[in-house]
Amino acid sequence: MIYLNGAFMPLEEARIPVLDRGFIFGDGVYEVIPVYSRKPFRLDEHLARLQHSLDGIMLDNPRSNSEWTEIIGELIDANEPEDQSVYLHVTRGVAKRDHAFPKGVKPTVFMMSNPLVPPSRETLESGVIAVSAVDNRWLRCDIKAISLLPNVLLRQGAVDAGAVEAILFREDFLTEGAASNIFAVKDETLLAPPKDNFMLPGITYDVVLELAASIGIPFEVRRISKEEVLSASELLLTSSTKEVTPITQLDGKPVGSGKPGPYFAKLHAAYQEFKSSVMRA
């Protein structure tokens, strides 16, 4: 079951007019919210980021936070899996094609749910392969925009090279992955790029830094050079669907020992423990 503009219906029945500005211009924003044991994880933070994205594209929020919470709850109830990934999408609505904003048009609101499958044990034991790529996106990567063509091309480039993620660099500093945030471990310190306009402020990124602080992992939030990434002892990627995943090969070379390292092990365990404590609460 999906949600479209106020109604729940089977996915096959959902229809969008071809003049929707999401279809024509990619004029909209989205969120992906993980749901564990039927409870949305860090919902307030996801809704705050949705507001930031809507502000960034100058679109009024079509629902209050309590309305979003209610609809998300109903969508979760209408779908079977205990663990779900809720996809929420708002566009500027349907109007005659003209780049400038239309007046008096209702935004399109769409939500769907997919089963949430965390990384397999095999992935966590062996790690994943990444390639480096030039970050050729725009300068507002802090907006979770549905216009994802650069991200799509970058991740396809990674897949074509036999990898699962592209690690992006802008003028030789690390920004993020094509669909994830990236952390490096260097000289026993966890390094995270600063939350600026060059990266999406990941909800999982925040959780990882909170966990690092609480379990006593030294960390620094600062610009990270490509050289530091290439010589890191560990690399991690984080996202709502991939949680904390180790990267063990970059551009054909092993990262550190070529196996998931101790910082990954600690953060992954802390993340699992944190998730279950939140779900029990």
- Is the Cβ of residue 151 or residue 249 nearer to ligand PDD in the bound state? 151
Buried b (16+ CB within 10 A) or exposed e, 10-38: eeeeeeeeeebbbbbeebbbbbbbbbbee
Bridge partners for 35 per DSSP: 40, 84
Number of residues that bind ligand PDD (CB under 6 A): 15
Sheet with 39-40: list strands edge to edge.
7-9, 2-4, 108-115, 84-91, 28-36, 39-40
Q: Assess 203 for contact with ligand PDD (CB under 6 A).
A: yes
Closest separation in Å from C-beta 102 to ligand PDD: 27
Please report the beta strands in 62-177, taking only residues with DSSP state E, as ranges in sequence order.
84-91, 108-115, 128-134, 165-170, 173-177
Largest distance between two CA atoms of the chain: 58
- Distance in Å, CB of 204 to ligand PDD, minimum: 3
Cα–Cα distance measured from residue 161 to residue 158, given in angstroms and rounded to the nearest whole number: 5
Among the listed residues 2, 4, 29, 32, the single contact to ligand PDD using CB under 6 A: 32
179, 235, 247, 250: which one binds ligand PDD (CB under 6 A): 179
Interaction of residue 147 with ligand PDD, rule CB under 6 A: no
Stretch of 6-14, 185-193, 239-247, 267-275 lying at the interface with ligand PDD (CB under 6 A):
239-247
Active site residue 266: no
When asked if residue 239 is in the footprint of ligand PDD (CB under 6 A), the reply is yes
Applying CB under 6 A, which of residues 108, 113, 204, 245 lies at the interface with ligand PDD?
204
According to the binding rule CB under 6 A, does residue 163 interact with ligand PDD?
no
Phi/psi of residue 145, nearest 5 degrees:
-85, 145
Cross-strand bridge partners of residue 129: 249
Residues with active-site annotation:
144
Which residues bind to ligand PDD, rule: CB under 6 A?
32, 151, 176, 179-181, 200, 202-205, 238-241
